[in-house]
Structure 1
């Protein structure tokens, strides 16, 4: 399948591996792909912007989610745990940013794909075929993430809802971009 990836899409995959290392991931999941797709020039970033979402804000939010291990302040609060209080205590004891850096283990070796990322890549291929394209680009990768039931897709959906948008808006933006190209 990788022979069908455009140069830009291959760069996304390589950069997602770097993001996984930087954030202490042991596997590349779809959130790593979203960080790169939103944060670097290409069809996915263009589509996110034209749909009305701030790609840089999305990349920053998902990267922060990765660094904290996906800690959900609302979910913890429902259990009586104040994440900000835990963060303050951790910072006081171990230094600023300790909780965010707790899982970070930068390495240099190969980082494998998680099951959700593999599924998103497979769905990207299906989107490429559906749209009649010859190669998989970042827009197709974004569509694959949106179709997969995955952490990256859920993070993207949260950001879209927060901006008053929906998945259909982004799908339409990617497809319109493909027609214009």
Structure 2
């Protein structure tokens, strides 16, 4: 499937690997694909604030990857996620829920099942649009079409599937 990727889409995937390595992450998640798209300026035509999106992703990492929907569901049960995160960080240090794995790496960082699904979905989107190659647009649309932190953060910044498709399809 990788042979169908445009040069920019390949750069996004390799950029995600580099982002995960820089963070010391044990796996490559959907978040790293989004960070790579941001670093390449793919979302710039949408007028988004790269730093704000990166900060929101970092905040989600501090919550252990729990989404705002998760936080609201817990609040409905009387559980304050912010308080739990604060207590954990008091005991174990800031970012304890997002701390990278301490296990020794062999050099290869695997993609999570969710990140693999994003890549697979990008192919489906390209085929559905009758595009011959998978581009960064397809990767972004795939991230937007799947539930999770990247789609939630993008939506919070006004980036929707329809808006991205309209603004970036050229």
Query: What TM-score, normalized to structure 1?
Result: 0.69
**1:168 is the counterpart of 2:162:** yes
* Residue 77 (structure 2) aligns with: 79
Deviations 1:46-84 (A, max 9, x none): 3443xxx43332233124323532134433323323233
SS at match of 2:43: helix
* Residue 91 (structure 1) aligns with: 89
Separation (CA, whole Å) in 1 of partners of 2:40 and 2:95? 31
- Which residues of structure 1 form unaligned runs of 5+? none
SS at match of 1:113: coil
SS at match of 1:109: coil
Separation (CA, whole Å) in 1 of partners of 2:89 and 2:49? 30
Structure 1 46/126 Cα, relative in aligned 2: closer, same or farther at 3 Å? farther
Structure 1 111/48 Cα, relative in aligned 2: closer, same or farther at 3 Å? farther
CA contact (8 A) 1:16 1:36 kept: yes
Moved over 4 A (4+): 129-134
Aligned residues: 164
SS at match of 2:83: helix
What displacement does 1:7 show? 2.7
What displacement does 1:2 show? 0.9
* Residue 24 (structure 1) aligns with: 25
CA contact (8 A) 1:30 1:120 kept: yes
What displacement does 1:142 show? 0.7
What displacement does 1:169 show? 1.3
CA contact (8 A) 1:34 1:62 kept: no
- Which residues of structure 2 form unaligned runs of 5+? none
CA contact (8 A) 1:143 1:171 kept: yes
